[in-house]
């Protein structure tokens, strides 16, 4: 019973720490995007889309090639996620033969192991679905980004034709950003699988992994380059632009 108390205390605490960090990161991305890597990349992806669509005859191949590289990265993560999901499903179906019960300091009952493996399986399935959505948006963007801007102004178009040029660039920019957001979420799902995997060996490694992972993710997700390189007015303008993405 004393060993199970560790699972009841350390595991929820570690998961709460991870969730709290990502809620804080979401707040920073929405309210202060210029201080996060995700926010800055979203701002300058919109600039990149506009630059690519200004002259599709020169930049069309470069745009498609760049988006194809992103599709390949999402495809790699999606394939890895579904392969690992299949492996976890096989381990769950084998029963308790291959479970490291001797090395686990905590709950090592059949129900406990089933919950642990099922949690890892859910993480990998979520990563697969998120990366598939990323591929979907990148595929749409690879077609839309090669539409010449001047071709969208036709004499027999809708009554909102005057706004069509701006809407086209903004729509393509949002599509590219959505693909990147789903890719980032899929990568976060892989990060979540690390502490869940260590949970198989006990709640203590799982909790330590959560603390270390939050510490590392902070330095990967937060940036202060905007404050050093660009003046404050430019940062505020970028934050306003990102608010419309």
Backbone angles phi, psi at 100, to 5 degrees: -80, 60
Provide the pLDDT confidence category of residue 158 given band limits of 50, 70 and 90: low
Tell me how far apart the alpha carbons of residues 118 and 124 are, in angstroms, rounded to a whole number: 10
Phi-psi region of 230 (alpha: psi -120 to 50; beta: other; left: phi over 0): beta
Burial class of 232 by CB neighbour count within 10 A (0 to 12, 13 to 18, 19+): exposed
Tell me how far apart the alpha carbons of residues 135 and 114 are, in angstroms, rounded to a whole number: 32
pLDDT in tens, 55-113: 777 788 888 899 999 999 999 999 999 998 888 888 777 765 555 555 556 566 777 77
Residue-level pLDDT at 54: 83
Q: What is the pTM of this model?
A: 0.80
Show me where the domains of the chain are located.
2-149+158-243
Residue-level pLDDT at 25: 94
Task: Note whether 209 and 195 are within 8 A (CB).
Answer: yes
C-alpha closest to that of 132 among 74, 171, 85, 91: 74
The three-state secondary structure class of 130 is helix
Per-chain mean pLDDT for the chain? 81
Task: Note whether 128 and 82 are within 8 A (CB).
Answer: yes
Residue-level pLDDT at 98: 54
Tell me how far apart the alpha carbons of residues 91 and 116 are, in angstroms, rounded to a whole number: 11
Is the pLDDT higher at 125 or at 169? 125
Highest mean pLDDT among 89-93, 131-135, 219-223: 131-135
Write out the DSSP string of 175-217: HHHHHHHHHHHHHHHHHHHHHHHHHTT-HHHHHHHHHHHHHHH
């Amino acid at each position: 019973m004393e060993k199970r108390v560790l699972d009841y205390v350390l595991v929820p605490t570690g998961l709460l720490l991870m969730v709290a960090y990502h809620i804080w990161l979401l707040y920073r991305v929405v309210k202060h995007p210029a201080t996060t890597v995700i926010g800055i990349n979203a701002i300058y992806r919109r600039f990149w889309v506009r630059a690519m669509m200004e002259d599709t005859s020169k930049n069309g191949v470069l745009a498609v090639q760049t988006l194809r590289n992103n599709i390949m990265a999402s495809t790699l993560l999606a394939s890895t996620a579904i392969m690992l999901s299949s492996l976890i499903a096989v381990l769950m179906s084998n029963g308790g033969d291959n479970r490291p019960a001797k090395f686990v300091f905590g709950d090592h009952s059949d129900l406990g192991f089933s919950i642990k493996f099922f949690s890892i399986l859910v993480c990998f399935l979520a990563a697969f679905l998120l990366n598939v959505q990323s591929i979907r948006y990148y595929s749409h963007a690879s077609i839309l980004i090669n539409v010449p801007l001047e071709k969208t102004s036709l004499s027999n178009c809708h009554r909102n034709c005057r706004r069509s040029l701006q809407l086209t660039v903004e729509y393509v920019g949002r599509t590219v950003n959505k693909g990147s957001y789903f890719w980032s979420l899929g990568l976060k799902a892989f990060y979540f699988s690390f502490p869940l995997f260590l949970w198989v060996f006990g709640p203590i490694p799982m909790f330590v992994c959560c603390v270390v992972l939050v510490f590392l993710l902070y330095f990967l997700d937060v940036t202060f380059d905007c404050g050093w390189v660009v003046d404050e007015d430019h940062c505020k303008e970028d934050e306003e632009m990102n608010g419309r993405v």
